[in-house]
Amino acid sequence: MISKSRADNGYKLWLEYNRVNNEQLAGAYRLQLRYVVFPATSDQLKAAKAELLMGLDGMLATKPSEVKDITGGQTVVIGTRQSLKSLSIAVSDSVGDEGYLIKTTLINKKQCTLIAANTDVGVLYGVFNFLKLIQTNQPISKLNIADHPRLMYRVLDHWDNLNRTVERGYAGSSIWNWHKLPDIIDQRYIDYARANASVGINGSVVNNVNADALILSPQYLLKVQALANVFRTYGIRIYLSVKFSSPVELGGLKTADPLDPAVKKWWADKADEIYSYIPDFGGFLVKANSEGQPGPQSYSRTHADGANMLADVLAPHHGIVMWRAFVYDNKVPDDRFKQAYNEFKPFDGKFKDNVIIQVKNGPIDFQPREPFHPLFGAMPNTPLMMEFQLTQEYLGFSTHLVYEAPLFAECLQSDTHKYGKGSTVARVIKGDFNKKLITGMAGVANVGADLNWCGHPFGQANWYAFGRMAWNPDQSPAVIATDWLRMTFTNNAGFVSPVKNIMLQSRENTVNYMTPLGLHHIMGVSTHYGPGPWVDNAGRPDWNATYYHKADSAGIGFDRTTFGSGALRQYAPEVKADWENLQTCPDEYLLWFHHLSWKYKMRSGRTLWDELVWHYYTGVDSVKQMGLTWDKLQGKIDAERFMEVKQLMQLQYKEAVTWRDACVLYFQTFSKMQTGAGYPKPEHPLDYYKKLKFYYVPGIGGNNYMTN
Ligand code: GCW
């Protein structure tokens, strides 16, 4: 049992390995490990062994001793087919390259628990999962588990700059200390890799997609190599974001035209150089022709020309190109929603085999709620990689408790209908409809140098959940939350059960007090902090909140039906029909697709205005409720994290009230309707909220100290 007063700063993440109260575990739950057989030779196997011993040491009163042979009693035998050969243990290869088996079985007529895999990294994953069983008090006496990842590339994208600022980072500076690399290997790098491996994350893009060409210089490649050496032990490949104009900026060429032979040669030489430092280098991530970044279109070439040129130079080394579909040009299209689909769909089947298109979950930009991106299902001959954002750019930064797994699941379980009923986004990205494609999922990391890594103790759950869902996109958010809570805090049901409910409800709360009923992109301009529904003077129309909500005296919402922008045509006819029809369009997506009168009658019987107000007030009330529930849990976990979360919830409440009052007052200037009896009046007039200034908001980097 953990001591309630023990201080815990959250650094250990979900790998706490707290003492298990073995005596209180009944029957099959009781742990009676006596011996471990673990012939470890490679670095990865040694890391797995070290993790196992560290975990058992923390959790069990008597650590099992390591032996060379099966001695009987409660023995755990761990290894690959190869490493266990001398013990004549056969391992079936059913779990593929990265999967594992955990099985209670007779070996040499003695009852053992076998953790086995075809590869070293499979063993590492098996060990982490065995430890998880103990951490979460699961029975371990009759095990028969076989698991493998459903996606190939499970990657964290760090938007970290070389000066250690983090674009949209809310947990302190970058964990990569570029200045001290390659000489100093911070323990953080190792713990970062352990945490990733524990949930099966096998890739890390260490620099911002708004890339600095310098990352490809020999000086920086040596630093990257040092990180790669750490990651390799934990089955993680390193990737780099590259700037498309690097041949000009770094190589002194006159052009970065992807069809120019000198440019191709520059990239080919660069790839050879990178692989000479890092033989298992993963590949490139590219943001091209988006938000001012250079790209092939700058030279009148296409996305396919650009991606394929890079794919060609990486192919001999088995590297891949992750080419982002987050594009919108400066010409201001009629509806930004439609642009990625319009630009990429024509290139279906035109990309090289080692190119994967990285598509954000929704068509605009990581909003609290978005419909699934219409590209999913629309490119049957092109691998599409999901991009989720773990860092809470539009979800209250690291002050708001928002468990994102329900958001991920909502998108993944959406039915694209592109291959008939049941062709969910999850099935599309798993390659169910085209087995030839490579597959993957990326998460924009929420990790920084803060003691607890993510700024908010519950931010860690989003990192954890991302790994679990990249491993298996069909996992349930509730199961993941329960595991995370047990591993991170305690197995005490009196804590786990109410806090799991808090987590599952948390994302809906935030939708309610920020962007209910399908509102989107109404945050403060540029910082994306706090409410800014009045923003109408940003650099370009589609950066303005007014572009998205279109509130006027007649009503509110963006008409994307056939009578409006027609964006709904990008979906399968079934989805289009469902969302175009007011009888069937879910309330959650209403204002994404329809401009409706303030007096429009909702399913609830309320007018649209009253419904909007109801959501804003309900959202705030739920945050208050969450705080009250938390307060009752004092003493069930360590005081340090308890107090930190308590204070964060108070701050979240304050900010939720600001969101509610600012938005209700602003939209009221159009609806001219009352908020109704029973709702507390805002403390300040609208003008007060409009004039709020926030200095040095994190996440925007550079010298941009103030906006809003
Ligand atoms: O969400 C927006 C962010 C930018 C980001 C961009 C992107 C890295 O506001 O900060 O740039 O998306 O995804 O490229």
**127-144 pLDDT per residue, tens:** 999 999 999 999 888 899
Q: Is the pLDDT of residue 314 over 80?
A: yes
Verify whether ligand 1 is closer than 6 Å to residue 167 (CB atom).
yes
Residues 523 and 548 reside in one and the same domain:
yes
Residues 522 and 445 reside in one and the same domain:
no
| pLDDT band at residue 29 under the 50/70/90 scheme | low
Query: What DSSP letter does each residue of 29-96 carry, written as one string?
Result: GS----EEE----SHHHHHHHHHHHHHHHHH-SSPPEEESS--SSSEEEEEETTTTGGGT-----TTT
For residue 150, the SS3 value is coil
Helix axes 493-514, 608-631, angle to 10 degrees: 150
Ligand 1 center–CA 152 separation, angstroms: 25
Verify whether ligand 1 is closer than 6 Å to residue 210 (CB atom).
yes
Minimum CA distance residue for ligand 1 atom 13 = 326
Verify whether ligand 1 is closer than 6 Å to residue 393 (CB atom).
yes
What residues make up the domain containing 673?
A: 512-558+595-691
118: CATH: 3.30.379.10
At residue 182, the pLDDT reads 98
Partners of 156 in beta bridges: 204, 443
Ligand 1 center–CA 325 separation, angstroms: 12
Ligand 1 center–CA 212 separation, angstroms: 15
Give the atom of ligand 1 at the shortest distance from the alpha carbon of 159: 8
Residues 254 and 335 reside in one and the same domain:
yes
Verify whether ligand 1 is closer than 6 Å to residue 529 (CB atom).
no
By percentage, how much of the chain surpasses pLDDT 70?
Answer: 96
Ligand 1 center–CA 562 separation, angstroms: 29
Give the atom of ligand 1 at the shortest distance from the alpha carbon of 210: 8
> In the listed set 115, 132, 147, which residue is the last one of a domain according to the structure?
147
- Tokens 């396919």 sit on residue: 304
Calculate mean pLDDT across residues 267-285. Answer: 98
The beta-strand segments (E) located in 585-638 are 596-597
Residues 266 and 314 reside in one and the same domain:
yes
Residues 350 and 384 reside in one and the same domain:
yes
For residue 105, the SS3 value is strand
| One-letter amino acid for residue 148 of the chain | H
Residues 160 and 126 reside in one and the same domain:
no
- CA 687 from chain centre, in angstroms, equals 36
Between CA 317 and CA 273 the distance in angstroms is 11
The radius of gyration of the chain's CA atoms, rounded to the nearest angstrom, is 26
Residues 163 and 135 reside in one and the same domain:
no
Question: Lowest-pLDDT range, 175-179, 234-238, 542-546?
Answer: 542-546
Pocket test for ligand 1, best of 364, 365, 528 (most atoms within 8 A of CB): 365
Residues in the chain: 708
Residues 157 and 138 reside in one and the same domain:
no
* Per-residue pLDDT tens over the stretch 350-380: 999 999 999 999 999 999 999 999 999 999 9
| pLDDT band at residue 24 under the 50/70/90 scheme | low
| pLDDT band at residue 72 under the 50/70/90 scheme | confident
Would 567 be classed as within a structural domain? no
Q: Which residues are catalytic?
A: 291, 365, 393
Tokens of 236: 């993680």
Minimum CA distance residue for ligand 1 atom 3 = 168
Q: Is the pLDDT of residue 395 over 90?
A: yes
The residue that leads in pLDDT, 434 or 90, is 434
Would 12 be classed as within a structural domain? no
Give the atom of ligand 1 at the shortest distance from the alpha carbon of 394: 1
Calculate mean pLDDT across residues 46-74. Answer: 89
Residues 83 and 196 reside in one and the same domain:
no
Minimum CA distance residue for ligand 1 atom 11 = 210
Calculate mean pLDDT across residues 620-634. Answer: 98
Verify whether ligand 1 is closer than 6 Å to residue 159 (CB atom).
yes
* Per-residue pLDDT tens over the stretch 641-700: 999 999 999 999 999 999 999 999 999 999 999 998 899 999 999 999 999 999 999 998
Calculate mean pLDDT across residues 9-17. Answer: 97
Average pLDDT of the chain?
A: 94
> In the listed set 488, 520, 545, which residue is the last one of a domain according to the structure?
488
Residues 34 and 60 reside in one and the same domain:
yes
Beta strands at 100-107 and 144-147: parallel, antiparallel or unpaired = antiparallel
Ligand 1 center–CA 229 separation, angstroms: 29
Verify whether ligand 1 is closer than 6 Å to residue 366 (CB atom).
yes
By percentage, how much of the chain surpasses pLDDT 90?
Answer: 86
622 near 502, Cβ under 8 Å? Answer: no
Minimum CA distance residue for ligand 1 atom 2 = 365
481 near 405, Cβ under 8 Å? Answer: yes
Question: Lowest-pLDDT range, 23-27, 121-125, 215-219?
Answer: 23-27
Verify whether ligand 1 is closer than 6 Å to residue 209 (CB atom).
yes
Q: What is the largest CA-CA distance in the chain?
A: 81
At residue 330, the pLDDT reads 66
CB neighbours of residue 415 within 10 Å: 18
Would 51 be classed as within a structural domain? yes
Would 504 be classed as within a structural domain? no
Number of domains in the chain: 3
Residues 479 and 432 reside in one and the same domain:
yes
Q: Where are the alpha helices (DSSP H) in 245-383?
A: 246-249, 261-277, 303-314, 339-344
Residues 397 and 420 reside in one and the same domain:
yes
Verify whether ligand 1 is closer than 6 Å to residue 508 (CB atom).
no
Q: Is residue 182 reached through a cis peptide bond, with omega within 30 degrees of 0 on the bond before it?
A: yes
Pocket test for ligand 1, best of 165, 168, 370 (most atoms within 8 A of CB): 168
Give the atom of ligand 1 at the shortest distance from the alpha carbon of 528: 9
> In the listed set 147, 167, 191, which residue is the last one of a domain according to the structure?
147
543: CATH: 3.90.1330.10
At residue 403, the pLDDT reads 99
201 near 156, Cβ under 8 Å? Answer: yes
Would 269 be classed as within a structural domain? yes
Would 140 be classed as within a structural domain? yes
- pTM of model > 0.95: yes
At residue 5, the pLDDT reads 47
| One-letter amino acid for residue 362 of the chain | G
Ligand 1 center–CA 488 separation, angstroms: 30
Ligand 1 center–CA 414 separation, angstroms: 24
Within 8 A by CB and 6+ apart from 219, the residues are none
Give the atom of ligand 1 at the shortest distance from the alpha carbon of 387: 13
